[in-house]
Amino acid sequence: MTKLLFILLLLFGLIYTQESINQQSELKRHNLSIGLLDDKTGFSMIGYTYNIRQNESNEYFIGGGTMLFAFTGTVGWKHYYKKSKLSVYSVLSEQVVRHIGFSGYISTLSYSLEYNLAKRSQIKFGGFGFYIIRTDEDKKEFGVWPFIGLNFRF
């Protein structure tokens, strides 16, 4: 819990060290993702994130997602290495997951490709590595999973 609080405070501290508010308003802040798992919201089929701060190559976000009976809350950072019609980026995020019979904290790191289908929609695919600290059991797990999905910005 203290790790998640630290990450939240760090991200909110970075909000005020970026570019001007005028440039901020030109970028799309809302993201809706639908697919098999997700780079930002992890174990989700439907995810929503809000960019609390962004510029051309970075997005700092908060959000949530769901996969039937599992709910995920997330905070993180997305960094573009190459931004074009086919973009390359990575996402670092901290998540809280609640599910029937499972709960825990997850740290994820993903590397992804994003192809722009239109101005406000993209298809994204890649893989994310995760480290889970389960709170329902005294257990820690890690692994790597692929993901694919559609992303809509508005």
User: Is there a domain that residue 128 lies in?
Assistant: yes
User: Is there a domain that residue 90 lies in?
Assistant: yes
Whole-number average pLDDT of the chain: 87
User: Is there a domain that residue 133 lies in?
Assistant: yes
**Residue-number span of the structural domain to which 120 is assigned:** 2-25+36-153
pLDDT score recorded for residue 1: 60
User: Is there a domain that residue 31 lies in?
Assistant: no
User: Is there a domain that residue 62 lies in?
Assistant: yes
Structural domains in the chain (count):
1
User: Is there a domain that residue 130 lies in?
Assistant: yes
Comparing 6-15, 31-40, 143-152, which segment has the lowest mean pLDDT? 6-15
User: Is there a domain that residue 30 lies in?
Assistant: no
C-alpha 139/C-alpha 25 separation (Å) is 43
User: Is there a domain that residue 103 lies in?
Assistant: yes
Residue 40, C-beta contacts closer than 8 angstroms, at least 6 positions apart: 31, 33, 47, 49, 61, 63, 65, 74, 76, 78, 91, 93
Instruction: Give pLDDT tens digits for 16-69.
Output: 444 444 444 457 899 999 999 999 999 899 999 999 999 999 999 999 999 888
